[in-house]
Amino acid sequence: MTHIKKAARNGRRLARNNQSAADTAVAGGEMLQASGEVISARLEIMAAGLANPGKTDLVEMALMSSEKVAAMSASASTVTRNFGDLSDRMARSAANEMHLASRAASAMASAGDPATLATLQYNYAVGWWGRATGQMLTLNTELLKAQAQALDPIHRTAVANAKRLKR
């Protein structure tokens, strides 16, 4: 792949990352708004229950904790899975880079003249820079994905509760 094609591909990935970050920020704002609405509605339900214990909405009271546990468990599960995947990817990248560095060092050690040595060093350095840039872009993409997936079950629950409690 040419440098221009790589730059164009990376530019598209950066644009997608920016959109993903913006979408997650919007979802976070929606979640915060919905959470405020849910807290307000549930405080009214609790106050009504204190004023007249016989009319306490026990179903809603039970949902207050069980829904949180379910949403947080789903969120934690996605974080664990995504960070495990990220760890594996980073370990493979590090092992690959050590292999490439070893090959480059061997080639440099056997260079017949200073010009060949300089060329080998330059080629390795430029290659490393390109690989490091690509890996960081991939890591950023995966972290944004992990963030969005971790927020999703909490967002879904808060928004659904706000909608349900408005009735």
Q: Which residue segment(s) compose the domain that 39 sits in?
A: 3-165
Using the predicted structure, report yes or no on whether residue 167 has a pLDDT greater than 80: no
Task: Kindly state the greatest CA–CA separation across the chain.
Answer: 92
Q: What is the pLDDT of residues 113-148, one digit of tens each?
A: 999 999 999 999 999 998 998 899 999 999 999 999
Domain count, the chain: 1
Q: What is the pLDDT of residues 96-106, one digit of tens each?
A: 999 999 999 99
Task: Judge contact between 13 and 137, C-beta under 8 A.
Answer: yes
The pLDDT > 90 percentage for the chain reads: 72
The whole-angstrom separation of Cα 162 and Cα 167 is 9
Summarize the confidence of residues 88-98 as an average pLDDT.
95
